[in-house]
Amino acid sequence: MEDNERISAKLAKFRPSLTLAMKETVERRRAAGLPVYDFGLGEAKGELGPELREAGEIAFREQQTIYTDPAGLPELRDAVLDWLGVREHYKIDNVVVSTGAKQSLFNIFLAVCNPSDAVLLDAAPWVSYQPLAVAAYGFPVMVIPPGTRRARLKVTPDDLNRNLDVRPHAKLFLLNNPVNPTAQLYSAAEIEDLLHVCVERRVYFVLDRLYWRILFDGLTYPEPRIDEQTKPWLIQVDGMSKNFNRGGGLRIGWAVAPRDVAKAMINLQSHYTAGPATPTQYVALAALTRPYTGRLAKELQARRDLLLHEAADMPLVDIWPSPATFYSFWDVRRCFGMWTPDGILLRGSDEVANYLLTSAGVVTASGIGFMQNGYLRLSFTAPEEQIVEGMQAVRRALSALRPRFSEDTAAANARLVERTAATVSAACEVGAPV
C-alpha cells in the first residue's frame, strides 16, 4: 500500500466541519490572551432547563443506561408526534430518533440513495450536507449554481424542475427552513410549491426544520402540507440542538418519514449506533413533554435587534433581515478589491473573514463553507456586551480598508465578484476548509 492509499480516496478529500475548525481558532486566540468576539458558532449557550438537567440526573441515578429500541425510546418517538403536531398523520413507526440531526440526515441519504443518485441541495447548503451525501455515495448538486443571483438566495420551483429535467437520478431535494446560514424563512406558499414539484416528480422532499422554533416578530412556522399525496415523499428532520439552550451536545435528533424509509433507517441504525445514548433520550423526552416556553426565541430576538442596531450603517456590507434562526447574513462583496492596512487584497469571503479575525478578533463563518462566496454568517448567540464590542471592532476594521483602484472601484469590484463566483465551485470540494 502506498502512503497516499492509507485513507480512502473518498475520505481523504474531507475537511473537518467548518464549525469545528472555527472552534480551534477561537481557542488558540484565547490561549494567547488575544480578544475574541465569537460570532462563529451555531449554538445557544444559555442555561439548559432545570427540568432537563433533572431528567438527565434521574436517568443516571436510575441506571437508564441499557440499550433502547434502535429507533429510540417509544415514549420519545411518541412525544415527537406531538412536538411536531403530526399525530393525526403518523404513528411512532414513522419516527426514528438518532444521534443528532446529522445522523438523521445521513440515515436518510443511506436509506434512499443508490450510488451516484443526485441529492439536490438549496442555494447555500449547510456545511455538512455535502460530506454526508458523498459519504452515502450520493452526488450532491446545488440547484442554483454558486454565484447565481436570486432574491435572498431562495430556490424556486423552476430551479427544481430545471434540475429534475436533467437529472433523472435525483432522489431527493433537501431544504432547510428556516435556512442556516441565510436566516431566511420560506413562506407556506413557497414550501407548498416546492413540495408540489417533488410530489409530481416523485422525489423525496427532505425538510430540515432544525431551527423551526426560533422565529421572530410573531412569525409562525410554515408547516408542509401532509396528506395522502405528500406523505410518501415528505421526510422531516428535527432535533434538540437549536431550539433548546445547550442542546447540541445531547446529540439527539429525529426524522419523521414514510414507513418504508423509516424502517430502512432503523435497520441501518441498529447496526451502527444501536440508537442514541439512553440518558440523553430521557432528557429529550423531558424537553418535548413539557410546554415549550418560547423564551429562547425572545432572548435571541433581543440579541438580533441589538446586533442590527450596533451594525447600523456598517461600511462596505449589506446586512440581510433575519426573520429566524440566530444568524445574521452579510453580503460583503463590496469589500472585495479593498486593501487591508497590512497590504492584503481582499478577494473573497475567506479573506474578509480572516481579516476580521486577525485584525479585530472577530470570528465569523465565511460563505465559502456554504458555497456562497461573497457572504459572511454571524451568529448572535454571544453575550450582549460581546455583540456591542464585537460590532465596534468590525466597524473599525472595515473603516480601515482602502480601495486599490484609481479606476472606477465599483466596476473593478464587480469584475472580481464575477471571477471569484466562477472559481468558487472548483474551490468548493467536499467540506472545503475555511
List phi, psi (to 5°) of 207: -105, 110
Which of these ranges, 96-104, 187-195, 196-204, 285-293, lies near ligand PMP under the rule CB under 6 A?
A: 96-104
Applying CB under 6 A, the span of 49-57, 99-107, 145-153, 408-416 interacting with ligand PMP comes to: 99-107
Instruction: Between 245 and 340, name the residue whose CB sits nearer to ligand PMP.
Output: 245
Tell me whether residue 86 or residue 250 sits nearer to ligand PMP (CB atom). 250
Could you tell me which residues are beta bridge partners of residue 339? 345, 402
Cell (9 digits) for 399: 473603516
Residue from the set 131, 239, 337, 390 that interacts with ligand PMP by CB under 6 A: 239
Of 330 and 355, nearer to ligand PMP (C-beta) is 330
DSSP 382: S
DSSP category for residue 344: P
Nearest-10 crossing angle of helices 278-288, 74-83: 30
Query: Is residue 210 a contact partner of residue 83, using CB atoms and an 8 Å limit?
Result: no
Instruction: Using CB positions, name the residue nearest to ligand PMP.
Output: 100
Q: Which segment (100-108, 199-207, 214-222, 228-236) binds ligand PMP by CB under 6 A? A: 100-108
Which of 38, 83, 90, 102 forms a contact with ligand PMP (CB under 6 A)? 102
Site string for ligand PMP, 42-61 (x = CB under 6 A): x-------------------
Q: Is residue 367 near ligand PMP by the rule CB under 6 A?
A: no
Asked if 241 interacts with ligand PMP (CB under 6 A), we say yes
Task: Write b or e for each residue in 241-250: b if 16 or more Cβ atoms lie within 10 A of its Cβ, otherwise e.
Answer: bbbbbbbbeb
Retrieve residue 70's grid coordinates: 434502535
Using rule CB under 6 A, residue 100 touches ligand PMP = yes
Name the segment binding ligand PMP (CB under 6 A); options: 54-62, 98-106, 148-156, 404-412: 98-106
Candidate ranges 1-9, 94-102, 280-288, 352-360; the one touching ligand PMP (CB under 6 A): 94-102
For cell 430576538, name the residue: 301
- Identify which of residues 112 and 335 has a Cβ nearer to ligand PMP in the complex: 112
Residue type, 213: R
* DSSP notation for 124-137: S--TTHHHHHHHTT
Distance separating alpha carbons of residues 219 and 306, to the nearest angstrom: 19
20: its cell numbers: 469545528
Q: In Å, how far from its chain's centre is CA 330? A: 16
- Answer yes or no whether residue 208 interacts with ligand PMP by CB under 6 A: yes
Residues that bind ligand PMP (CB under 6 A): 42, 100-102, 126, 176, 180, 208, 210, 239, 241, 248, 253
